[in-house]
Amino acid sequence: MSRIKEFNLPDLGEGLTEGEILAWLVKVGDVIELNQPIVEVETAKAAVEIPAKWAGQVKSIFHPEGSTVEVGTPIIAIDTDPGAGPVEEEVTPTPSAAALAAVDVAPSEGAVEPGLIGGPAPGGRTAVLVGYGPRSTAAKRRPRKATGPVPAQATPAPAAQPVAAAPAGPVARTAPVTPRTAPAANGNGAGALVLAKPPVRKLARDLGVDLTTLTGSGPLGSITREDVHQAADGAATATSTVVATPATTAAAFGADRERRIPVKGVRKLTAENMSASAFTAPHVTEFLTVDVTRAMKALDRLRARREWRDVRVSPLLLVAKAVLLAVQRHPMVNSTWAGDEIVVKEYVNLGIAAATERGLIVPNIKDAGRLSLRELADAMTALVQTAKAGKTSPADMSGGTLTITNVGVFGVDTGTPILPPGESAILAFGAVREMPWVHKGKVKPRQVTTLGLSFDHRIIDGELGSKFLRDIGDFLTDPEAALLAWT
């Protein structure tokens, strides 16, 4: 049994199929322990440190930082018994027929795979809807007997230019048989067979690269991801150099004044989720402006209490508490559209949208409705700190049922947020500002904020959405009275 073990990129869950290597935490030659973090990988949901599966010495690192690796691909080799002396060099065996069979051969452009309608079938025939069609080889028929006089035989042509002798009478025409030439593997051109694995073929389709034009650098000339990327980069360069210049154009700017940001990881997942949600769930957004002066004074009194002096207390804490209490009064808001049914959830996984260097993420507090105000404050503090450190796990971002986005931290009054997939409501909490407000019949400066509630109109109608938003506003207007009335 070989002491050199290759560690594959593990399945990190939630249907993720690939990850980007952000940073290697070890280098070749390092001695590592079991479960020691060795690499930081960014998936579509989070940045995760992956621990070592074995103790030993790092022998090889197969992928550099910044590369995207598919799940199940070897990323590092570990010598599990470095004290046993040098490792004997292993001779790389020639790939067997079984290994070659594992390499998928993509059909050439315009070709039809065998067995499909219109494709080749046994005996040189063509597959049709039922059975097989006629043979594609030429039919052989004996010539008919001549009925007229047979003329003298034609004089043979010179050997350099041979021609067939003309028949004496009418004979059946024989279809010319065109010799078939086997297409070469990765032979550059139409009809060439392409050796490439399915992920490489998918990458080529996504980048618009024709595999039949490439020469592979992999085993037996198979095409690798690097070959596809190089071809795509070369095509982009060629395209950028051939640009038609009109007779009269505005000032042109070079590529040195443009910046291209790859769409991947969290940004890619967010784009996909927001696009799917915006064009699937019919969004409705309502707004409510609230006097939160009493709520701000209640927070000041809470901070002054001895048991709360080490706790981070913010207006967002009261907003979260208001949402949780309003859900108890209107449980239909905490539900999911499931096609032919609506799933009403008796637990609230409260999502808090957080802006990080990696993009927008929405981790959630599991079963937040069962937490006390102090426990909720501690959970929100831990959630925010973990998100800013880039350590949020995929599990913390899964299973959310209702979300709050605090746009007020950016000085924005409110917004029309898009629903996270699978949720039916999201609340935008705007900035708290001192504004003139009519209070007890007089215009006075008061602390005011604006709330924006977006909801799925398939589940939440205008009445339910308005009552839910009104209850949140009532709590923020007078939290003590709301707690006494509702609990």
Query: What's the Cα-to-Cα distance from 145 to each of 151, 168, 169, rounded to whole Å?
Result: 14, 10, 8
Question: CA–CA separation, 482 vs 486, rounded Å?
Answer: 6
Q: What would the two tokens of residue 61 be?
A: 């690192």
Smallest Cα–Cα separation from 404: which of 352, 335, 337?
A: 352
Q: At a CB cut-off of 8 Å and minimum separation 6, what does 409 contact?
A: 431
Question: CA–CA separation, 24 vs 63, rounded Å?
Answer: 10
Phi, psi of 388 (to 5 degrees): -65, -30
Residue 444: CB atoms within 10 A of its CB come to 13
63, 229, 330, 457: which is the annotated catalytic residue?
457
Check if the beta carbon of residue 45 is closer than 8 Å to that of residue 266: yes
Question: CA–CA separation, 422 vs 399, rounded Å?
Answer: 9
Question: CA–CA separation, 126 vs 436, rounded Å?
Answer: 82
Q: What would the two tokens of residue 193 be?
A: 């067979």
**CA-angle at 453, arms to 450 and 371, nearest 5°:** 95
What is the bridge-based pairing of β-strands 350-352 and 402-405? Answer: parallel
Question: CA–CA separation, 389 vs 360, rounded Å?
Answer: 13
Has 330 been annotated as catalytic? no
What is the bridge-based pairing of β-strands 442-456 and 342-344? Answer: unpaired
Residue 357: is it exposed, middle or buried by C-beta count within 10 angstroms (0-12/13-18/19+)?
Answer: exposed
State the DSSP code for 412. Answer: -
Question: CA–CA separation, 204 vs 232, rounded Å?
Answer: 8
Residues tagged active-site: 457
